[in-house]
Structure 1
Amino acid sequence: MGNLTPVSLRDLSTVLRVSIVLHPDLAARLDVTQLTMPDIALQLQAGTLASIAHAVDLLAGTDVMIVEIDPADPAETEAFERFCARHAGQMAVVAAVRALSVQTTRQILRSDAVDVLPLPFTPDELVQAVDSGRQALARVPATPAIPAFQPPRRRGKVISLLGALGGVGATSLATQLGVIWAATARVCLIDLDVQFGNAALYLNLRPRLTVADLVDAGERMDAEFLASVAETHNSGMAVVGAPIDIVPLDMVTPDAVQRMLALAADTYDVVLVDLPDAWINWSAAALTRSDVVLLVSELSVAGVHQAKRQLEMIDANGLSDRVLLVFNRVATSLFRKVDLTQTEQALKRKVDVVVSNDYAAMSAAIDEGRPVSTIKIKSRIEKDLRMLVATLDALPLVTL
């Protein structure tokens, strides 16, 4: 069924817009024509919580959202709680759960969800859940007739990650930073390593559409198409994956990259760009379009040598003032400070950020597509990553 025509959220006396989102197997068995209710505009969609998290048209056209979740999945439960909190006061959210128990009901109702609906449900149970949503919306203070002035939305911050050489963990940092940041902002990760990119894989995502589809779209590339290509991780982060097959580097153009990043910055608060190690015309265009260039390396002879070469290339392109130099997988000790003196002398500049080495925890997080914090609670590497997010968040936008 198509999207419904938006009406005022508070005009509940005329029509209540109810969207039901169920996993495809159950959605295929439900006949919404048998669920006619007075003053209710009902639509059914096959999907998941992740698939609708950034479905702008669907969310804008819904007063009561009934969405199927799996409470046995901690990541999905956490994502559902964030979803409810994000839309509290604007849209009533009802959880739909298979094999519903009293314990699960209590757990879900601790969030901002207004009700829990068992799956499969009866018409009476659906009416009760919808009524809970109506009552919840009725308790929200009415929107003023003349809304307060809203300043234009500031464009999102574009942060490109560039490895000094292969295997230094730039993609790992991109995915983990994005997962952390997604708790407080709208984040999009774009994998422009078109030959060997693994960002989607690191997040346990298998995208149907990729960067290649955006490039192929040409002038048809717009915000709506970008949103349709992006896969949504349980954290809420949107991910545009690298092509499934290895493609020539020249299939991407500077114009396509500039358009892609401009659209993403207009749509999201934070845009993380995972770049290939190679310098080509379109990767240079991505760096030029970035507010911050995160140069990632490691404390090895090759790592320092290649970092110096990358810094020289960045400086030659007039981008040295945007660089944040990060050394990853650094062995740290509680009672001994990392000595970076020789490294900084060789590079002729300070190292901005050090990320501790916890190869086992990071490898497990990558293998399972989860935040490293869920693998090892309060680890040193999680602390370093959160500090890096705070540092990046505080950096200003550049004038483009």
Structure 2
Amino acid sequence: MALLLKAKNKAVEAYAVMRDMTEFNQLVEELDNEFNDSWQPLDFDSGLAVLDEGKSEVLEFAVVGVSAADEQNLNIVTEYILKAKRIGLPVVLVVKDVNPAALHQLMRLGADDFIPYPIPDGALRDSFVNLRDRKVNNAEPEEKRKKRRHGFVLPVYGVAGGVGASTFAVNLAWELATASRKSDKRVALLDFNFQFGSVATYLDLPRREAIYELISDPASMDHDALAQALTSFKSRLAVLTSPMDALPLDIIAPEDVQKLIDIARDSYDFIIIDMPQALVHWSDNVLKAAETYFTVLEIDMRSAQNTLRFLRALKAEELPFEKVQFILNRAPGFTDMSGKARVKRLGESLGVSLDVLLPDGGKPVAQACDQGLPLSEVAAKNPLRKEVRKIAEALLEQVEADKAAVAT
């Protein structure tokens, strides 16, 4: 007797409505990247019929493609926009060779945004992010909007150069930002290696002059000063890069580091801090503020010896060792039994638990860093990317679980 497994239909998160889909091939690719298979292509007649069913909880947008050929009969386009707005569905227009008068008419009917075709890089994603933010802000009362977020501080420290700490920090921050795109969770990535930080390089971001002003003038350090120093990556991740010039690590005092972290915690739900390898006079402030202190090492003698020095420093200063979560990068594969035995011996000799094992991502990791993109944008199926995403999802689930526990 055969068992028929019925595939579960994915809920539709967006409608793409247009007269001729072949005119908007780039739009199809952009929607695939944004929603995978959770969007539905429709012509205008089908689109109007679907709206009669109402708006589901997961349905977010209607993307309406309008070309010059549609100007002869804008009535069906205007009818769709009006109907979508009546059920509270945001409408994004993608316009191809449409004259300004027709575009003005459609926007006055209630379209929320418009994007020219061909679509500029990142424009569609930015539009979705802005509309999601607008929805959250409109739904929340003013008092709640001004409420502090009390973000989770997650520093990333590499016990030796080249162990992959900065790569892990950048990709963890990006995975958190993308995994929480439908919620109001905000993510910031702070590069505290003020001399030779790599975050700007790995995300191809400019180093702003305002960063030096922020850390060199603690008296003026506030939410506005931090906002001016931050750079946005793809409208989802706020990034504080290292300064333009190499600065001494003691340019900022411990109390000012604490102040900077507190300001970031007020505005963001997750604060990933890429730490310098050197232990400085404000390192303990970061450790004390951390929810979890990720410490990255490799399975080699250099990492083992530096880890022992790091552990001795923590014990000597009576710092909260229990916050440290060791991560073994470039760990042996599942079938490498001798490698797994080495991992076990390393953990036993150091007296630590090596629970988080990251696989070797190979050449695509270095290529992604050189291109200034997260690994998910270059090699989405890379095993390292998959493990980092699992960690990000576990962090999000833990936050939601803690939030639910507090609510009850």
Deviations 1:122-174 (A, max 9, x none): 24423422423279x9xx9xx89x96996955411001111111111110000
Residue 209 to residue 92, structure 1, CA distance change in 2 (3 Å) = farther
Look up the match of 2:3: none
Alpha-carbon deviation of 1:193? 0.3
Query: Contact 1:164 / 1:297 at 8 angstroms: preserved in 2?
Result: yes
Look up the match of 1:376: 379
Look up the match of 2:171: 176
Look up the match of 2:157: 162
The letter of the residue matching 2:330 is R
Residue 379 to residue 134, structure 1, CA distance change in 2 (3 Å) = closer
Q: Alignment partner of 1:244: what SS?
A: coil
Alpha-carbon deviation of 1:372? 1.5
Query: Contact 2:149 / 2:265 at 8 angstroms: preserved in 1?
Result: no
Look up the match of 2:313: 313
1:361 aligns with 2:364: yes
Residue 149 to residue 207, structure 1, CA distance change in 2 (3 Å) = closer
Residue 210 to residue 354, structure 1, CA distance change in 2 (3 Å) = farther
Residue 302 to residue 217, structure 1, CA distance change in 2 (3 Å) = same
Rounded to whole Å, the distance in 2 between the matches of 1:75 and 1:245 is 37
Give the TM-score taking structure 2 as reference length: 0.65
Query: Contact 1:330 / 1:357 at 8 angstroms: preserved in 2?
Result: yes
1:341 aligns with 2:344: yes
Look up the match of 1:290: 290
Residue 232 to residue 272, structure 1, CA distance change in 2 (3 Å) = same
Tell me how many residue pairs correspond in the alignment: 307
Q: Alignment partner of 2:354: what SS?
A: coil
Larger radius of gyration: 2
Q: Alignment partner of 2:325: what SS?
A: strand
Rounded to whole Å, the distance in 1 between the matches of 2:371 and 2:64 is 25
Larger deviation: 264-273 or 111-120?
111-120
Deviations 1:245-274 (A, max 9, x none): 111222111122111110111101100111
Alpha-carbon deviation of 1:238? 0.6
Query: Contact 1:299 / 1:327 at 8 angstroms: preserved in 2?
Result: yes
Rounded to whole Å, the distance in 2 between the matches of 1:277 and 1:175 is 16
Residue 309 to residue 346, structure 1, CA distance change in 2 (3 Å) = same
Residue 101 to residue 344, structure 1, CA distance change in 2 (3 Å) = farther
1:193 aligns with 2:196: no
Q: Alignment partner of 1:367: what SS?
A: helix
Query: Contact 1:79 / 1:234 at 8 angstroms: preserved in 2?
Result: no
Rounded to whole Å, the distance in 2 between the matches of 1:309 and 1:189 is 27
Rounded to whole Å, the distance in 1 between the matches of 2:260 and 2:393 is 25
Q: Alignment partner of 2:299: what SS?
A: coil
Q: Alignment partner of 1:247: what SS?
A: coil
1:125 aligns with 2:103: yes
Rounded to whole Å, the distance in 1 between the matches of 2:30 and 2:112 is 28
Residue 202 to residue 149, structure 1, CA distance change in 2 (3 Å) = closer
Alpha-carbon deviation of 1:74? 7.5
Look up the match of 2:207: 207
1:324 aligns with 2:325: yes
Rounded to whole Å, the distance in 1 between the matches of 2:151 and 2:186 is 9
The letter of the residue matching 1:364 is Q
Larger deviation: 228-237 or 184-193?
228-237
Rounded to whole Å, the distance in 2 between the matches of 1:93 and 1:283 is 48
Q: Alignment partner of 2:236: what SS?
A: coil
Rounded to whole Å, the distance in 2 between the matches of 1:272 and 1:229 is 16
1:351 aligns with 2:354: yes
Structure 2 stretches of 5 or more lacking a match?
Answer: 1-25, 37-56, 71-80, 82-88, 114-130, 404-408
Give the TM-score taking structure 1 as reference length: 0.66
Alpha-carbon deviation of 1:342? 0.9
Q: How does 1:39-58 map to 2 (within 5 A)?
A: none
Residue 77 to residue 156, structure 1, CA distance change in 2 (3 Å) = farther
Residue 304 to residue 390, structure 1, CA distance change in 2 (3 Å) = farther
Rounded to whole Å, the distance in 1 between the matches of 2:255 and 2:347 is 36
Q: Alignment partner of 1:308: what SS?
A: helix
The letter of the residue matching 2:323 is R
Rounded to whole Å, the distance in 2 between the matches of 1:73 and 1:162 is 41
Look up the match of 1:51: none
Query: Contact 1:168 / 1:297 at 8 angstroms: preserved in 2?
Result: yes
Query: Contact 1:96 / 1:116 at 8 angstroms: preserved in 2?
Result: yes
Alpha-carbon deviation of 1:215? 1.2
Residue 150 to residue 238, structure 1, CA distance change in 2 (3 Å) = closer
Question: What is the RMSD of the two structures over their aligned residues, measured on CA atoms?
Answer: 4.1
Query: Contact 2:90 / 2:112 at 8 angstroms: preserved in 1?
Result: no
Look up the match of 1:40: none
Rounded to whole Å, the distance in 1 between the matches of 2:218 and 2:62 is 37
Look up the match of 2:389: 386
Identity %: 25
Rounded to whole Å, the distance in 1 between the matches of 2:245 and 2:308 is 32
Look up the match of 1:31: none
Q: Alignment partner of 1:133: what SS?
A: coil
